[in-house]
Amino acid sequence: MAEGPPPTAAQRYRPNRFVSLPAELDPNTYDASPEKRRAEAERLALRARLKRQYQLQLNNPNPPAIIEDPALIRWAYARTQNVYPTFRPTPKTSLLGAIFAIGPLLFWGAAFKIDR
């Protein structure tokens, strides 16, 4: 009697209590519901439209002075302008600020005093 082909590594793999199941073998990852697949397709279509719009602006023979990328504008705003509204002074940040502001001065002062 001829046996079928040998099982693949994915078929032979059995999770154990020490190692979690890899994402490639997790049915929750690749066995998505129709709603989840539809939402992913909508996000992919939106991303493709935005990418096409940006590429058309970039490759335009008569380009505007500034080509705006909304994602880059949001990132730059979050990086530069939105720092202080999200900062909360805590004992840890105050201590770190004091260490990084006063610490080097004390260190170099002691180093030069001892070096004399």
Residue range 14-73, pLDDT digits in tens: 777 787 777 777 766 776 788 988 998 999 999 999 889 888 888 888 887 887 778 888
Q: How far is CA 62 from CA 51, 57, 59, 75, in A?
A: 19, 9, 9, 27
pLDDT class of 1 with cuts at 50, 70, 90: low
The pLDDT, as a whole number, for residue 2 is 61
The pLDDT, as a whole number, for residue 5 is 83
Q: Where are the domains of the chain?
A: 10-85, 88-115
Query: How far is Cα of residue 55 from the mean position of the Cα atoms in its chain?
Result: 23
Yes or no: say if 87 and 97 are a contact pair by the CB < 8 Å rule: no
Three-state DSSP at 112 gives: helix
Please indicate whether residue 62 or residue 11 has the higher confidence score (pLDDT). Answer: 62
d(CA 69, CA 61): 18
